[in-house]
């Protein structure tokens, strides 16, 4: 069993859903429960699938986002896992890197996302 | 067994060590392994205890920090757990809130921290 590979595949589903602005796919990628949490860059932490789903519905109304993901590492502890990854944005936000921590829990239907926390990596203004 | 209480106690040890600028206490609170990850607000993600420890050693040279923690919630999945919490800063950075996700893993010595991700909650400039 390749747990790390399965977790990285679950992580990829999050970004594929985001790039496609596909709320159904995002909903399938997440555990739709009260215990999920999501913190977009600069936002307060959202708690529970209702708040998290609403945030994606709103974000998907805006300009599309494309990511180049770098330095993904997955760690599995039993039925829980985390992925640390850098999101390098393309398009209107090209040059921005978002340091990210994604959480996953394994249930009957496989790995589902339960957490996302992204924050912009600051670069000195003169670079 | 009160797993949630134990995880919240482990979470409290992180903040006690931070407020005391006590690197030994911070070292005792963390799992000192390659798989830990830490993302301070605006920083890139640090990986492994060596990088994480160095960051705290550097941060502890600066002005002290005090936190008022709000909205802590802990979720336990087997031997892994996460805490979502808001850090409200006092002192020089009063008025700043850092949305935070902390990760913990249970080993022979109890719950040890394996992840921290904090990001400043942005407030419109005219507030």
Residue A108 pLDDT: 93
Residue A125 pLDDT: 78
Mean per-residue pLDDT of chain A: 95
Residue A3 pLDDT: 96
Of A80, A97, A121, the CB nearest to B77: A80
Beta bridge partners of A88: A68, A97
Q: Kindly report the CA angle at B116 between A58 and B77, in degrees rounded to 5?
A: 80
Of chain B, the percentage scoring pLDDT greater than 90 comes to 88
Residue A1 pLDDT: 62
- Place B127 in a pLDDT band, splitting at 50, 70 and 90: low
pLDDT at B11 over 90: yes
Phi, psi of B57 (to 5 degrees): -60, -40
Q: Do B45 and A101 touch (CB under 8 A)?
A: yes
A19-64: per-residue pLDDT in tens? 999 999 999 999 999 999 999 999 999 999 999 999 999 999 988 8
pTM of the complete model beyond 0.90: yes
The interface pTM score, or ipTM, of the predicted complex is 0.95
Cβ proximity of B41 and B118 under 8 Å: yes
Task: Using an 8 Å CB-CB cutoff, list chain A residues near B71.
Answer: 45
Q: Do A122 and B42 touch (CB under 8 A)?
A: yes
Residue A34 pLDDT: 98
To the nearest whole Å, the CA of A10 is away from the closest chain B CA by: 18
Of B35, B44, B73, the CB nearest to A47: B73
Per this entry, what is the length of chain B? 127
Nearest CA in chain B to A85: B45
Q: Do B99 and A39 touch (CB under 8 A)?
A: yes
Residue A127 pLDDT: 65
Residue A88 pLDDT: 97
Rounded Cα gap, residues A47 and A37, in angstroms: 5
Q: Do B82 and A103 touch (CB under 8 A)?
A: yes
Candidates A4, A35, A40, A45, partner chain B, best to mutate (most B CBs within 10 A): A45
Phi, psi of A93 (to 5 degrees): -105, 25
B25-62: per-residue pLDDT in tens? 999 999 999 999 999 999 999 999 999 999 999 999 98
Nearest CA in chain A to B98: A44
Per this entry, what is the length of chain A? 127
B59 CB-contact burial (10 Å; exposed 0-12 / middle 13-18 / buried 19+): middle
Put the strands of the sheet holding B110-120 in their side by side order: B46-47, B37-39, B110-120, B97-107, B80-89, B67-77
A93-114: per-residue pLDDT in tens? 888 999 999 999 999 999 999 9
């Amino acid at each position: 069993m390749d747990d790390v590979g399965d977790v990285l595949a679950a992580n990829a589903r999050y970004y594929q859903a985001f790039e496609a602005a596909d709320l159904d796919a995002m909903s399938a990628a997440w555990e739709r429960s009260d215990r999920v949490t999501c913190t977009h860059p600069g936002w307060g932490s959202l708690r529970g699938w209702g708040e998290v789903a609403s945030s994606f519905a709103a974000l998907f109304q805006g300009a599309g986002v494309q990511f180049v993901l770098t330095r993904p590492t997955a760690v599995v502890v039993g039925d829980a896992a985390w992925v640390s990854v850098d999101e390098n944005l393309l398009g209107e936000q090209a040059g921005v890197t978002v340091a990210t921590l994604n959480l996953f829990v394994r249930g009957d239907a496989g790995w589902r996302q339960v957490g996302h926390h992204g924050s912009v990596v600051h670069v000195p203004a003169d670079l």
